[in-house]
């Protein structure tokens, strides 16, 4: 009887295995292998999600690097432009301080000489004045032309307006104080009288 019992037990196990098999789309699938497939697809989804996250992080990092590189290029360009401007206008403060001395030289040179001593003093002052003007011109300083020119508010400062039929409208008639430019930058605008 124990043999019969063993055979019956074996038959029950076989029946249970057969009952556990499920038919899916014409294929017989064992439930034990189904869970393995589900686990594999779940791990595939997790891997795909992880790949997508890493790709997003990589793209973000690349964008940060590109932005940092652009910022650095802009910084380098601004620094170069600042250095060029500093080099170009390095004499601006000195020129600003020398211009009033030039004005005084010009006033002194307009004095009428009535004796030889005054004439010789004026000649010496004229030589020094010309040397100052030459040194300033070597640095790029030039006087602003005014009389007979059209009024330009960028380089002229109108302090008076008159009506004169001999001049066109908006023309500079008289220069009351010289103006100076350092290269393309106005150091002091010319004070002028303008025709209406």
Share of the chain above pLDDT 90, in %: 46
Q: What is the mean pLDDT of the chain?
A: 83
Residues with Cβ within 8 Å of residue 103, at least 6 apart in sequence: 177, 178
Query: Residue 155: what pLDDT?
Result: 92
pTM score: 0.58
Query: Residue 102: what pLDDT?
Result: 92
**Is pLDDT at 24 greater than 50 in this prediction?**
no
Alpha helix locations (H) across the chain?
2-20, 31-88, 92-109, 116-138
**Is pLDDT at 71 greater than 70 in this prediction?**
yes
Cα–Cα distance for residue pair 142/183, rounded to 1 Å:
8
Query: Residue 10: what pLDDT?
Result: 65
Mean pLDDT to the nearest integer, 88-104: 88
CB 144 within 8 A of CB 189: yes
- At 174, list the tokens: 């008289």
Mean pLDDT to the nearest integer, 88-113: 88
pLDDT tens sequence across 138-179:
988 999 999 988 999 999 999 999 888 888 888 999 999 999
User: Within 13 Å and on the Cβ side, how many CA atoms surround 169?
Assistant: 1
Mean pLDDT to the nearest integer, 60-88: 92
- At 171, list the tokens: 């023309």
CB 192 within 8 A of CB 157: yes
Query: Residue 163: what pLDDT?
Result: 87
**For the CA atoms of 158, 160, 163, 166, what is the dihedral angle to 10 degrees?**
-60
Least confident of 17-26, 37-46, 144-153: 17-26
């Amino acid at each position: 009887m124990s043999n019969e019992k063993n055979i019956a037990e074996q038959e029950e196990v076989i029946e249970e295995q057969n009952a556990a098999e499920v038919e899916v789309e014409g294929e017989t699938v064992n439930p034990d292998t189904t869970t393995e497939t589900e686990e594999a697809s779940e791990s595939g989804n997790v891997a795909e999600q992880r790949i997508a996250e890493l790709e997003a992080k990589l793209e973000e990092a690349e964008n940060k690097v590109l932005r940092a590189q652009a910022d650095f290029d802009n910084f380098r360009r601004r620094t170069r432009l600042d250095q060029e401007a500093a080099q170009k206008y390095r004499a601006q403060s000195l020129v600003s301080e020398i211009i009033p001395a030039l004005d005084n030289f010009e006033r002194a040179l307009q004095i009428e000489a009535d004796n030889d001593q005054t004439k010789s003093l004026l000649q010496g002052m004229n030589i020094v004045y010309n040397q100052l003007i030459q040194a300033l011109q070597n640095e790029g300083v030039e006087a602003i032309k005014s009389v007979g020119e059209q009024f330009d508010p960028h380089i002229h400062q109108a302090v008076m307006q008159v009506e004169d039929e001999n001049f066109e409208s908006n023309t500079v008639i008289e220069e009351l104080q010289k103006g100076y430019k350092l290269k393309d930058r106005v150091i002091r605008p010319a004070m002028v009288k303008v025709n209406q």
